[in-house]
Amino acid sequence: MQSTMNKMLVSPSPHIHSAVSTTSLMRDVVIALLPAAICSVVFYGWMELLILAVSVASCVLLEYVITRYLMKAPSTICDLSAVVTGLLLGLNLPATTPWWVVLIGAVVAIGVAKMSFGGLGQNPFNPALTARVFLLVSYPTYMTHWEAPQGLFGVDAVTGPTPLGMVKEGLLQGQTVPQIMSDNGLSYSQMLFANIGGTAGEVCALALLAGFVYLLVRRVIRPHITLSIWATVALVSLIFWLASPDRFTDPLFNLLTGGMILGSCFMATDYVTSPMSVKGGIIFGIGIGFITMMIRYFGSYPEGMSFAILIMNAFVPLLNMWFHQKKYGRK
Amino acid sequence: MAKITFSLGGVHPDDAKLAKDRPIEVLPLPQTVYVSMAQHLGAPAKPVVAVGDVVKTGQVIAEPGGFISAFVHAPASGTVKSIAPRKDLAGNWMTHIEIAVEGDEWAEGIDLSDTLVTEIPEDRAFILDRIKANGVVGLGGATFPTHVKLNPAPGSVAECLIINGAECEPYLTSDYRIMLEHPKEIVLGAAIMQKVLGGCKCVIGIEENKPAAIEKMRAAVGELHLGNIEVVSLKKKYPQGGEKQLIDAVMHRQVGSGGLPISVGAVVQNVATSLAVYEAVQKNKPLITNTLTITGDCLPVEKMHNYLFRIGMPLSYIAEQAGGVPEGAAKLISGGPMMGKAIANLDACTVKGSSSILYLSEAATRREPETNCIRCGKCAEACPMGLEPFLLNKLARAGKTDELEANAVQDCIECGCCLYTCPAHLPLLDIIRQAKGQVMGIIRARAAAAKAAAEAAKAAKN
């Protein structure tokens, strides 16, 4: 009996572990992004597939090289977080982005925003968003060039500026919002089901929402951050729209356009760069919604989602310090 | 109706109640029993027999070593061979009384019949004395002496007696089996404790994954015409059977940090304790038997057992009775997989609170290497005490005891939900447990210093 005991493990409780791991969570995020990725390829053609491939491959390769040769540590690519960053980066770029711009984006996302802070879990800013904003200010021509190549299966390519861009442009020319909408033939069903100008991942809101629901059902994320962003955006735009429907776009328009769905469902809910507590998360969401609307209405960029999320990322340590969850038996 | 459960955190491990259909079998006596003096929480008992004494089953062999302590009785008749230190299952040395078993001759005055005694004694002091004299301790895990718990300090009033039949730990089925096989005894035990506590109401909480037990217990309450006892079905969620969680679930009250359940009017006792109280009071039978489960993920169901064991039986003896340690077992656990202790020494012996020998395969119990915290917050979501394990982990590694205390590390109940949940496989509880010990030490030292200072001031005044 004693010889058997010599081979037995002895360690503190608990002795079992749930099947959920970092890798399984990241795998779920990849699965949740697939509908949007597939839609983007269908609408923008093989060029888009190339962008996604370059983005994912360069993110993974960069993380491998940095961990193995710079940090001289075991590689962390097996946790699939680099795949998630790559996919998100690819979906955050216009379908016409040249491959070398994508590569620079990957260097910024993985090299600067993620690994220089110590890798997964350590970065204060969302890597894919940091890269998107970096590219937006460094290569504005490529990043706002919305003329897309031919889609697959005869699907009409999407051309022209984004709805938000049209509105900004039209307002500058002295048009009113309803005029702009009817002149450009913008409809909500179009925005929901696809076919609006924008970055590749934003082409189909429904595909993104399907992925979001998958993440909720799998309990990968909780809905409070996303919902508080939506509620804030709806409330702020409702107030302005009611005050002046000629100058300001309505709530539904703001919820369905630009990076709203992609940002609120997949970027703002990033574990690492969002607050730990529910209270903190709600405030985080309110901040994102408010800043987004301020930039959309009053800023010089047509879209403010990326900036808003990055700005609120900076407040996460404070929100974590101020807001804690309720403890048992304590006030 | 919303399902009854506790309000904060919790996890849902697979309940794996594989041995639930195995009826309770009585283990034959081994040749030698070794009775530990640490059968309970608090001070170890003091032996009252000497080497060479002949003892009968149920005879007192050790008396309480302090206020929080309990009597220990001989689990078999025979001769005391030695009173010496021996290793317990974690490998710590503790005084054991070794008895060479020469039969099973019971001491006088113990009712060994199966007759159900339904008449509950009127005298509260008599009941308490029987419970104390028969060495009853809490069998839900903590082994806190029952007579102490049933005798709250003057001024505190028990409003609700909660009988814990949750058995929320995966694999374990001993509580389930006694609820099926001895429902009336358990209910009578509850009624006895109700009487001691001054006739408060009584709720028996059972998790929904044990419908047969709920039905049997309800039937028993009905047949015994006990009006003030209610059997409630609880949602299946770990750690439902935690004392603080069960109070929250049943009474919607939360015990303050460092406080006792009685501070919110609650007294919680396990179903096995209730059975022991019945036997102690109605049958004058000391607590020398209990039920344990032999189970695991690397054991075929036909080799699983629910055994009625006597205290002092070597675990190796019980394992052999059940067919030996199975192939593929990588870890032996006494207790459940969430809070049980890994067995380092199979020659250790059963104590009053033993509840299982659990065999886990390496696949089931293997810990993956620790990776970076991804700040998902799942540990905080899982913590039934509302703590933030990721934060406590960080503070503990930085040695910040002040902040650990401010973030309530001392409230940790060591249920293991955080470590179970963590997708990055951080050893959260390992680190928090250590930090908790350190902070508790600081709190105690501070209290002692304050007391000494107050006494010094008082002496100076005089």
Q: Is B420 in contact with A277 (Cβ distance < 8 A)?
A: no
Q: Which of B255, B342, B433 is facing A10, going by the closest CB pair? A: B342
Quote the tokens at residue A151. 């889609």
Q: Which run of H or E residues covers position B403?
A: helix B401-406
Read off the DSSP letter of residue A109: I
- Alpha-carbon radius of gyration of chain A: 21
Q: Is B374 in contact with A272 (Cβ distance < 8 A)?
A: yes
In this predicted structure, the answer to whether residue B24 has a pLDDT above a threshold of 50 is yes
Q: Which residues of B touch A284 (CB under 8 A)?
A: none
Q: Is B343 in contact with A79 (Cβ distance < 8 A)?
A: no
Cβ–Cβ contact A179 with B under 8 A? no
**Residues B224 and B395 sit within 8 Å (Cβ to Cβ):** no
Q: Is B338 in contact with A14 (Cβ distance < 8 A)?
A: yes
Residue A112's contacts (CB-CB under 8 Å, 6 or more residues apart) are A130, A134
In this predicted structure, the answer to whether residue A150 has a pLDDT above a threshold of 70 is no
Residue B426: other Cβ atoms inside 10 A: 20
Instruction: Please provide the DSSP assignment of B122-183 as one string.
Output: S-HHHHHHHHHHTT-B-TTTT--BHHHHTSPPTT----EEEEEE---SSS--HHHHHHHH-H
Measured distance CA(B254)–CA(A207) in Å, rounded: 44
Read off the DSSP letter of residue A201: G
Q: Which residues of B touch A9 (CB under 8 A)?
A: 330-331, 342, 362, 365
Bin B445: left if φ > 0, else alpha if -120 < ψ < 50, else beta: alpha
The alpha carbon of residue A223 is apart from the nearest alpha carbon of chain B, in Å, by 13
| Residue closest to A195 by CA, chosen among A163, A170, A168, A234 | A163
Measured distance CA(B68)–CA(B459) in Å, rounded: 30
Burial class, A154, CB count within 10 angstroms (exposed 0-12 / middle 13-18 / buried 19+) = exposed
Quote the tokens at residue A31. 């699965």
| Mean of pLDDT over chain A | 88
Q: Name residue B232's beta-bridge partners.
A: B205
The alpha carbon of residue B255 is apart from the nearest alpha carbon of chain A, in Å, by 5
Exposed e or buried b for every residue in B138-150, given b needs 16+ CB within 10 A?
Answer: bbbbebbbbbbbb
Distances (CA, A) of A312 to A111, A273, B215, B330: 22, 9, 54, 48
Measured distance CA(B223)–CA(B226) in Å, rounded: 8
Q: Which run of H or E residues covers position A5?
A: helix A2-6
pLDDT band at B1 (very low <50, low <70, confident <90, very high): very low
Q: What is the pLDDT of residues A275-285, one digit of tens each?
A: 999 999 999 99
Q: Is A327 in contact with B387 (Cβ distance < 8 A)?
A: yes
| Pairing state between β B160-165 and B266-270 | parallel
Q: What is the mean pLDDT of residues B183-200?
A: 94
| Residue closest to B312 by CA, chosen among B105, B134, B99, B140 | B99
What is this model's ipTM?
0.90
**Residues A192 and A261 sit within 8 Å (Cβ to Cβ):** no
In this predicted structure, the answer to whether residue A247 has a pLDDT above a threshold of 90 is no
Q: What are phi and psi for residue A97, nearest 5 degrees? A: -60, 130
Measured distance CA(A48)–CA(A33) in Å, rounded: 15
Measured distance CA(B113)–CA(B462) in Å, rounded: 63
> Can you list the alpha helix ranges (DSSP code H) found in B78-133?
124-133
Q: Which residues of B touch A1 (CB under 8 A)?
A: 316, 319-320, 325, 346-347
In this predicted structure, the answer to whether residue B116 has a pLDDT above a threshold of 90 is yes
In this predicted structure, the answer to whether residue A331 has a pLDDT above a threshold of 90 is no
Q: Which of A144-148, A295-299, B10-14, B209-213 has the lowest mean pLDDT?
A: A144-148
Measured distance CA(B444)–CA(B405) in Å, rounded: 12
pLDDT band at B155 (very low <50, low <70, confident <90, very high): confident
| Residue closest to B357 by CA, chosen among B372, B340, B373 | B340
Q: What are phi and psi for residue A213, nearest 5 degrees? A: -60, -40
Q: What is the mean pLDDT of residues B396-412?
A: 95
pLDDT at B277: 97
Bin A125: left if φ > 0, else alpha if -120 < ψ < 50, else beta: beta
SS3 call for A212: helix
Measured distance CA(A164)–CA(B10) in Å, rounded: 44
In the Cβ-directed half-sphere of B155, how many Cα atoms lie within 13 Å? Answer: 2
Q: What is the pLDDT of residues A37-87, one digit of tens each?
A: 998 888 888 888 999 999 999 999 999 999 999 989 888 899 999 999 999
Measured distance CA(A261)–CA(B233) in Å, rounded: 42
In this predicted structure, the answer to whether residue A19 has a pLDDT above a threshold of 50 is yes
Read off the DSSP letter of residue A115: G
**Residues B360 and A107 sit within 8 Å (Cβ to Cβ):** no
Among chain A residues, the shortest Cα distance to B6 is held by A328
Q: Which residues of B touch A76 (CB under 8 A)?
A: 371-372
Residue B24 CA to chain centroid, in angstroms? 19
In this predicted structure, the answer to whether residue A34 has a pLDDT above a threshold of 90 is yes
In this predicted structure, the answer to whether residue B51 has a pLDDT above a threshold of 70 is yes
Quickly tell me which residue has 């089901």 as its tokens: A193
Burial class, B1, CB count within 10 angstroms (exposed 0-12 / middle 13-18 / buried 19+) = exposed
| Mean of pLDDT over chain B | 94
pLDDT at A158: 54
The alpha carbon of residue A154 is apart from the nearest alpha carbon of chain B, in Å, by 42
What is the widest separation between alpha-carbon atoms in chain A? Answer: 90
Residue B113's contacts (CB-CB under 8 Å, 6 or more residues apart) are none
Residue A32 CA to chain centroid, in angstroms? 12
| Residue closest to B290 by CA, chosen among B194, B210, B177, B213 | B177
Residue B2: other Cβ atoms inside 10 A: 5
Determine the Cα angle at A95 with ends A92 and A99, to 5°.
90
pLDDT at A174: 79
Q: Between A and B, how many residue pairs show a Cβ–Cβ distance under 8 A?
A: 159
In this predicted structure, the answer to whether residue A156 has a pLDDT above a threshold of 70 is no
Q: Is B255 in contact with A272 (Cβ distance < 8 A)?
A: no
What is the widest separation between alpha-carbon atoms in chain B? Answer: 73
Instruction: Please provide the DSSP assignment of A119-153 as one string.
Output: STTT-SS-HHHHHHHHHHHH-HHHHT-----PPGG
Quote the tokens at residue B12. 């849902």
pLDDT at A47: 86
pLDDT at A197: 63
Quickly tell me which residue has 């096989």 as its tokens: B181
Q: Which of A14, A25, A330 is facing B408, going by the closest CB pair? A: A330
Among chain B residues, the shortest Cα distance to A271 is held by B376
Give residues 257 to 296 of A whose Cβ lies within 8 Å of B.
Answer: 271-272, 276-277
Q: What is the mean pLDDT of residues A7-29?
A: 94
Cβ–Cβ contact A25 with B under 8 A? yes
Q: Which of B257, B347, B367 is facing A17, going by the closest CB pair? A: B367
pLDDT at A23: 95
| Pairing state between β B60-63 and B72-73 | antiparallel
Residue A74: other Cβ atoms inside 10 A: 11
pLDDT at A246: 85
The better pLDDT of the pair B453, A155 is held by: B453
pLDDT at A311: 97
Mutate to test the interface with A, among B343, B347, B374 (most CBs of A within 10 A): B374
- B438-446: which pairs have CB atoms within 8 A and are 24 or more residues apart? B438/B401, B438/B404, B439/B401, B439/B404, B439/B405, B439/B409, B439/B410, B440/B410, B442/B401, B442/B405, B443/B405, B443/B410
**To the nearest whole percent, how much of chain B has pLDDT over 70?**
100
